[in-house]
Amino acid sequence: MNWFTRADRLKITAMTASQWIILLLIPAYLFGSIPTGFLVARSKGIDIRKVGSGNIGATNVGRALGGRYFALVFILDVIKGALPVAVAGWLLHHQSQQWQHYLLWLLIGAAVLLGNMFSIYLKFKGGKGVATSVGITLGIFPYFTFPMLLAVTTFLVVFKVWRYISLASLVSAALFPIFYLLLAQWRGWDAFGTQLPLFIFGSLAMLLIIWRHRANMIRLIKGTENRAR
Sequential pLDDT tens for the chain (229 residues): 444 455 554 554 555 677 888 889 999 999 999 999 999 999 999 999 999 989 999 989 999 999 999 999 999 999 999 999 999 988 887 565 688 888 989 999 999 999 999 999 999 999 989 899 899 999 998 999 999 999 999 999 999 999 998 999 999 999 999 999 999 999 999 999 999 999 998 999 889 889 989 999 999 999 999 887 7
Count of other CB atoms within 10 angstroms of residue 151: 27
Distance separating alpha carbons of residues 195 and 101, to the nearest angstrom: 9
Residue 155's Cβ-side half-sphere holds a number of Cα atoms within 13 Å equal to 17
In a domain, 144, yes or no: yes
Q: What pLDDT sits at residue 2? A: 45
Q: Taking the model in full, what pTM does it have?
A: 0.82
Q: What is the Rg, in whole angstroms, of the alpha carbon atoms belonging to the chain?
A: 19
In a domain, 229, yes or no: no
Q: List, in sequence order, every residue forming a beta bridge with 125; answer none if it has no partner.
A: 119
Total domains, the chain: 1
Q: What pLDDT sits at residue 208? A: 87
**Secondary structure letter of residue 4 according to DSSP:** S
In a domain, 217, yes or no: yes
**Secondary structure letter of residue 125 according to DSSP:** B
In a domain, 126, yes or no: yes
In a domain, 228, yes or no: no
Nearest one of 111, 123, 81, 143 to 21, comparing CA atoms? 111
Question: Is the CB of residue 61 less than 8 Å from the CB of residue 41?
Answer: yes
Q: What pLDDT sits at residue 209? A: 87
Q: What residue numbers bound the domain in which 211 lies?
A: 6-222
Count of other CB atoms within 10 angstroms of residue 4: 10
